[in-house]
């Protein structure tokens, strides 16, 4: 398909485990975003890449969260030593350019449950 | 700081009736406004955007939105609701630095047959 693909769709982790969430953006899309969506809430910004450069990581909640996009395409969001408050849906989105009129195209998300 | 507010957690409407989902915004600079829809266990889907130009913006699935600068509002509308429109709707504003979208808390739309 031509959409944004995220894997896994569901992840259950025991508290203290490390997890890695993958995002395959739409081919050719320059910008890539990670958002965190808690139950019943709107998405909250985590971080933003333009190609391989991470231009904004101000939304990452702690230094346990780390994101990379080494070749300007696939991105991975890593959470170390997971805590229960990390339980949420993690959404990846891409856009064709960094321009203001370029909408986001979202994947279906990864639902992380920390037990 | 940029922000949006969706004052209604839920909107109920009968099929065939017009619907409105409200959104107000607060921005520094020009507002870049978007509406997204989310179905259960899915990501958000783009509906429409306002960047500049006509205050009435038309989008996907028969939806439209009216930009009102004096009231700082960007309400989503549809002349005739369908049961299949039932979903969660999010208003968003894009930061003038281009790299962040700020989303509202969402409005659940229930369209009853």
- The pLDDT of residue A83 is above 80: yes
Chain center to CA of A60? 10
Tens digit of pLDDT for each residue in A16-49?
Answer: 999 999 999 999 999 999 999 998 889 999 999 9
Residue A88 — pLDDT band, cuts 50, 70, 90? very high
Q: What is the pLDDT of residue A100?
A: 64
Q: What is the pLDDT of residue A98?
A: 66
Confirm or reject contact between A107 and chain B (CB < 8 A).
yes
Residue pair A78/A66 in contact (Cβ under 8 Å)? The answer is: yes
Tens digit of pLDDT for each residue in A61-77?
Answer: 999 999 999 999 999 99
Using CA atoms, how far apart are residues B5 and B73, in angstroms rounded to an integer?
9
Burial pattern B99-113, b for ≥16 Cβ within 10 A else e, equals: bbbbbbebbbbebee
B61 phi and psi, to 5 degrees? 60, 25
Shortest distance between the Cα of B3 and any Cα of chain A, in A, equals 12
Q: What is the pLDDT of residue B30?
A: 82
Among B44, B49, B60, the strongest candidate for a mutation testing the A interface, having the largest count of A CBs within 10 A, is B44
Shortest distance between the Cα of B65 and any Cα of chain A, in A, equals 16
Among A100, A107, A110, the strongest candidate for a mutation testing the B interface, having the largest count of B CBs within 10 A, is A100
Mean pLDDT score, B76-105? 90
Q: How is residue B31 annotated by DSSP?
A: -
Q: What is the pLDDT of residue A57?
A: 93
Using CA atoms, how far apart are residues A54 and B13, in angstroms rounded to an integer?
43
Residue among B3, B4, B36 at smallest CA distance from B23? B4
Average confidence score pLDDT of chain A? 93
Q: What is the pLDDT of residue B2?
A: 83
Using CA atoms, how far apart are residues B111 and B107, in angstroms rounded to an integer?
13
Name the one residue in this structure whose structure tokens are 């904004």. Answer: A56
Q: What is the pLDDT of residue B98?
A: 61
B60 phi and psi, to 5 degrees? -75, 155
């Amino acid at each position: 398909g031509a959409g944004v693909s995220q894997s896994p769709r569901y992840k259950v982790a025991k508290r203290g485990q490390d997890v890695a969430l993958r995002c395959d953006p739409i081919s050719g899309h320059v910008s890539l975003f990670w958002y965190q969506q808690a139950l019943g809430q709107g998405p909250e910004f985590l971080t933003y890449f333009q190609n391989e450069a991470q231009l904004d990581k101000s939304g990452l909640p702690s230094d346990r969260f780390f994101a990379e996009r080494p070749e300007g395409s696939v991105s991975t969001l890593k959470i170390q030593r997971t805590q229960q408050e990390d339980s949420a849906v993690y959404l990846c989105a891409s856009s064709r350019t960094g321009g203001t009129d370029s909408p986001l195209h979202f994947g279906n998300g990864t639902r992380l449950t920390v037990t | 700081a940029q922000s949006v507010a969706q004052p209604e957690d839920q909107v109920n409407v009968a099929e065939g009736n017009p619907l409105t989902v409200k959104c107000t915004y607060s921005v520094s600079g020009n507002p870049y406004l978007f509406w997204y829809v989310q179905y259960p266990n899915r990501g958000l889907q783009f509906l429409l955007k306002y960047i500049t130009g006509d205050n009435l913006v038309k989008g996907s699935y028969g939806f439209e939105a009216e930009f009102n600068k004096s009231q700082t509002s960007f309400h989503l509308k549809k002349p005739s609701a369908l049961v299949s429109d039932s979903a969660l709707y999010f208003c968003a504003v894009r930061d003038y630095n281009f790299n962040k979208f700020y989303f509202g808390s969402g409005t659940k739309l229930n369209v009853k047959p």
